[in-house]
Amino acid sequence: MTPAAHALAAIEVLTEVEDRRAPAPQALKDWGAAHRFAGSGDRARIASLVYDALRARASIAWRMGSDSPRALILGALAFARGRTAEEMTAAFAASQHAPAPPDEAESAAIAAAALDGAPPHVLGDYPEWLDAAFADAFGDARAEEGAALARRAPLDLRVNVLKGDRDKALRALSHLKAEPTPHAPFGVRIPLTDDGRGPPVQSEPAHLKGLVEVQDEGSQLAALIAAAAPGEQVVDLCAGAGGKTLALGASMGNRGQLYAHDSDLRRLAPLNDRAARAGLRNLQIRSPRRDEPVLADLEGRADLVLVDAPCTGTGTWRRNPDAKWRMRPGALEIRMAEQDAALDAAAVLVKEGGRLVYVTCSLLPAENEARIAAFRERHPGFAPIAAREAATTIGAPELAAFATTSGEAFLFSPRRSGTDGFFVCALRRT
């Protein structure tokens, strides 16, 4: 397929998203099933263009004067990839399967690229109904924070110290131009291609042998701040597929006991294989059971409980731009109730002097500071560990630069730290 044919296909996928209100991944999958001639490389390029359009949907629509699928794809080619209207016209004319060339109004909009007078939610490419929450979190910088969330995410890996060190991983991945991440001591970053795709690192020997795992640097920092130590009793309460579980286990050096639990058995399914590949031997997976508590024997025994809480995922919009336009206010209320329940379940597991670490991949204060404040009202025996103290404890005092205004937690974001958005608050049971 030609680049022009990729553009036409991307318009068709976005049309499906609009007409059926289908999630973008499902629309892309359906398009691929209906067009078997398209190879994996073609499908990846089409997906990359669709996601470029969704990342900057509001600002593209403002510039183009339309939010139609065609306008969004032409705008993505122009504003995300630097194509001029003349270049599009030539490319489209040279291909049998292509959109119509930009008309006079579209060409003028592309040439002007104007965002004059645009409000913060347009400049920041986030839903207008979230503007108050972003203003609460970031004030006058909310447009810049949103714009950073609308850029492409890097491809980050975590080096598994049970299998080797970062220098070993950098040598093994040197052909991919791997570099150390700026903040995480075990992080490796792989450059993306010009169209935003990353190499298939899961097929690399370093990954197959368990030396590296795909994990955003912000997620690595959250696990690092938890400070799981050898010999401790550690619970990952909302383990999911186990990315942070594996990071905690590596910090423990296979000494002590690590428990992974999640309310959804399906999310835990990959963890056994991942743990085996990583060489993690001190892990117990506690699968949920109907009408039977599975963590009762750990009440008051845990040195550390990590609550990687279910959330709206606003901090991961770089990787899932479709989610920000599909998000509704009701989803926030549901997540807040789930976060409160997870914190309450964690509290009973923490022993005196132990730690509870609350993590979300959200930037919304309602899911972060507000949940900690509500938790402390219900459980006054927990006190926050200052971000500066937490950063010093793990030997990374520079991370205190990402403390919240209160100094009681960390807030990472693409603009602040170059990572996905994460809120991390460590509390001690006094």
Which residues are annotated binding-site positions for S-adenosyl-L-methionine?
A: 262, 308
Instruction: Determine whether 242 is exposed, middle or buried from the number of CB atoms within 10 Å of its CB (0-12, 13-18, 19+).
Output: buried
Provide φ and ψ at 390, rounded to 5°: -65, -40
- Which residues have CB under 8 Å from 230's CB, separation 6+? 252, 253, 255, 256
Q: Give the 3-state secondary structure of residue 209.
A: coil
CA atoms within 13 Å, Cβ hemisphere of 423: 29
Residues ≥6 apart with Cβ < 8 Å to 27? 13, 14, 16, 17, 20
Q: Compute the chain's Rg from CA coordinates.
A: 23
Task: Look up 425 and say whether it is catalytic.
Answer: no
In sequence order, what are the residues at sequence separation of 6 or more whose Cβ sits closer than 8 angstroms to the Cβ of residue 306? 223, 226, 228, 234, 235, 236, 237, 238, 244, 248, 357, 359
Catalytic residue among 238, 311, 361, 425: 361
CB 363 within 8 A of CB 315: yes
What token pair was written down for 313? 């995922």
User: In whole angstroms, how far apart are CA 9 and each of 29, 95, 369, 419?
Assistant: 12, 13, 43, 31
Furthest CA-CA distance within the chain: 71
Catalytic residue numbers? 361
